[in-house]
Amino acid sequence: MRILRRLGITLAVLLLAAIAIGLHLLGSEAVPTTTEYAIDLAELRNQALDVSGDLPNRVRYETIAVGRLPRGLIMAGEGFDPVEMPRTVFQIVYPDGRFILIDSAYDRTLHEVGFSDQPFFDRAWKRLVVAMEAATQIVVTHEHSDHLGGVAKHPRADRLAENLRLTVEQIANPRAIDAALPKTLSDQIDPLHYEDMFAIAPGVVLKKAPGHTPGSQMIFVKIASGQELLFVGDVVWNDDAISELKYRPRLVTDLFLGEDRGAVLDQIRALRNLADAGGVSIVVSHDARTYQRANLSEGFASSVE
């Protein structure tokens, strides 16, 4: 009987420990009330206008695939209803037809690694292949395969080197470049080095945001109509994380992503402050509602069809 009692106590302790560990991993710290991460909107605007030339006149998007994750893995403390997470590429179009691409999604082979039973749009991928060769510049919000994999899996990837603007931090992060850039491409890339902000074209400014990955960056776009957009990549996976001040659970951030939690929490607070102030449309890569609210046009421009 003593043995059974001890065994019962041991099992109970182990069960409680497992529950405690599970709750810890599925939880997250609160978003701080103040932030050390600064989004200087006035300076972003200045730099956007500092490059001579016409401002872009529209932003379009092409969804290449859709994956789904339980809501509780997207924001700590939520349930487990599935949430759609599109893999989308954004196209900044200028009046003369030139364009810049933000991100490159990935091809079917990378999609099927984790989402083999979920939609992949082959026609959209074919349009993207054409668009990547036609783009004057390609920038990525960060160095994960669902944002960089399209470049890596392009059938003529070496042709993209001249216009691919990867940063020093993105190139130097082998853990995160799980898209496996072909050597014929990576050897030709001249990495982009900048401090806080850098204008790459009229109306388009890169803004460093390390945290989700070391090379994460936001991209500010000022349209000729006066509209302003901030593409925030994967700082959050869903716009509700900004409005409700929620962050991914530790299970995701610590075990799978290796994020700098403090940096991302600061960025969420900064984005909430920006949203509260109004005037700028925040575009979350994996939340189609933000494309619609920003009135982005669906489908690449006809020149790449």
Please compute the mean of the pLDDT values over residues 114-119 and round it to a whole number. 93
268 vs 200: CA distance, rounded Å: 25
Question: The whole model's pTM is what?
Answer: 0.92
Q: How many residues does the chain have?
A: 305
Please compute the mean of the pLDDT values over residues 273-297 and round it to a whole number. 97
110, 146 Cβ separation under 8 angstroms: yes
pLDDT the model gives residue 38: 97
Q: pLDDT over 90 for what percent of the chain? A: 80
Strand partners, 282: 230
Residue 302 — very low, low, confident or very high, per pLDDT cuts 50/70/90? Answer: low
Residue 14 — very low, low, confident or very high, per pLDDT cuts 50/70/90? Answer: very low
| Torsion angle of the four alpha carbons 42, 45, 51, 53, in this order, in degrees rounded to the nearest 10 | -150
pLDDT the model gives residue 288: 98
- The CATH fold assigned to 31-304 is Metallo-beta-lactamase; Chain A (3.60.15)
Tell me: the pLDDT tens digits for 117-157? 999 999 999 999 999 999 999 999 999 999 999 999 999 99
Residue 21 — very low, low, confident or very high, per pLDDT cuts 50/70/90? Answer: very low
Please compute the mean of the pLDDT values over residues 275-298 and round it to a whole number. 97
Domain ranges of the chain: 31-304
Please compute the mean of the pLDDT values over residues 84-104 and round it to a whole number. 98
Q: Does pLDDT of 222 surpass 80?
A: yes
* 260: its two tokens: 């700098």
Residue 186 — very low, low, confident or very high, per pLDDT cuts 50/70/90? Answer: confident
pLDDT the model gives residue 285: 98
